[in-house]
Amino acid sequence: MRIRLFGIVLLAALQLAFSDLHEHEHEHKHLHEIFDDYWAYQLSVNPYLAGNSGITEANAQLPDASTEALQAREAAYQTFLSRLQEVSYERLTSQDQISYRLFERQLRNGIEAHALREYLLPLNGWWDYHATFAEQPNRMPFSTVRDYENYLSRLQAFPAMNAQYLGRLRMGIEAGVVRPRVVLENYIPTVEALISEEAADSRFMLPFERFPASVSEAERTRLREEALRIIGAEVLPAYRELAAFLRDEYYAATPEAIGISQVPGGAAYYEYLVRFYTTLDVSAGEIHQTGLAEVARIRAEMLEVIEETGFEGDFDEFVTYLRTDPKFYAQSAEELMMRTALVLKQMDGALPGFFGRLPRMPYGLREVPAYLAPRMTTAYYNSPSQDGTRAGFYFVNTYDLPSRPLYEIEALSFHEAVPGHHLQLALQQELEGLPEFRRNSSVTVFVEGWALYAEWLGLEMGFYQDPYSNFGRLTYEMWRALRLVVDTGIHAKGWTRQQAIDYMAENSALTLLNIRNEVDRYIFWPGQALAYKTGEIKIRELRREAEEALGDSFDIRAFHDMVLANGSITLEVLEQEVRAWIDDNR
Chain segment 280-335, per-residue pLDDT in tens = 999 999 999 999 999 999 999 999 999 999 999 999 999 999 989 999 999 999 99
Distance of CA 540 to the CA centre of its chain: 20
With bands split at pLDDT 50, 70 and 90, how would you rate the model's confidence at 376?
confident
Closest CA to 97 of 432, 424, 357, 438: 438
Per-residue pLDDT, 126:
84
Confidence of residue 279 (pLDDT cuts 50, 70, 90): very high
Q: How far is CA 561 from CA 357, 422, 534, 564, 565, in A?
A: 7, 15, 21, 5, 6
Q: Do residues 67 and 118 lie in contact, with contact meaning Cβ atoms separated by under 8 Å?
A: no
DSSP per-residue codes, 321-335: HHHH-GGGB-SSHHH
> What is the residue type of 245?
F
- In this prediction, residues 515-531 reach a mean pLDDT of 95
Residue that wins the pLDDT comparison between 567 and 23: 567
pLDDT for 301 equals 97
Could you tell me what percent of the chain has a pLDDT over 90? Answer: 89
pLDDT tens for each residue of 451-499: 999 999 999 999 999 999 999 999 999 999 999 999 999 999 999 999 9
What pLDDT sits at residue 223? Answer: 98
Specify which residues 329 forms β-bridges with.
Answer: 405
Evaluate if residue 372 carries a pLDDT over 80.
no
Pairing of strands 379-382, 363-367: unpaired
Q: What is the DSSP letter of 380?
A: E
Least Cα distance to 571 among 433, 453, 487, 474 occurs for: 453
Closest CA to 90 of 37, 39, 26: 26
CA distance 392 to 563: 21
- 383 SS3 class: coil
The most distant pair of C-alpha atoms in the chain lies apart, rounded to whole Å, by 97
| Mean per-residue pLDDT, 399-418 | 95
SS3 of 459-481: HHCCCCCCHHHHHHHHHHHHHHH
**CA angle at 318 for the pair 326 and 324, rounded to the nearest 5°:** 25
**Length of the chain in residues, anyone?**
586
Per residue in 515-543, is it b (16+ CB within 10 Å) or e — as a string?
bbbbbbbbbbbbbbbbbbbbbbbbbeebb
- Helices (H) and strands (E) counted in the chain, each on its own, are 25, 3
Which pLDDT score, from 0 to 100, does residue 21 have? 54
414 by Cβ neighbours in 10 Å (0-12 / 13-18 / 19+) ranks as: buried
State the pLDDT at residue 13: 55
End-to-end CA distance of the chain, in Å? 43
Tell me which of 66-80, 368-382, 549-563 is least confident: 368-382
What are φ and ψ of residue 196, in 5° steps? Answer: -100, 155
What pLDDT is stored for residue 386 in this prediction? Answer: 80
For residue 250, is pLDDT > 60?
Answer: yes
> Which residues, other chains included, contact 255 with Cβ-Cβ below 8 Å and sequence gap of 6+?
178, 180, 181, 262, 263
Q: What span, in angstroms and rounded, lies between the C-alpha atoms of 416 and 398?
A: 15
pLDDT (0 to 100) of residue 4 = 66
Average of per-residue pLDDT across 18-41: 85
pLDDT at 17 over 90: no
Give, in order, the Cα–Cα distances in Å from 512 to each of 318, 319, 504, 581.
15, 11, 9, 44
Alpha helices in 231-283 (DSSP H): 236-245, 251-253, 266-278
The model's confidence at residue 397, banded by pLDDT at 50, 70 and 90, is very high
DSSP state of 125: S
pLDDT score recorded for residue 385: 86
Residue 373 or 104, more confident: 104
Q: How far apart are CA 344 and CA 414, in angstroms?
A: 8
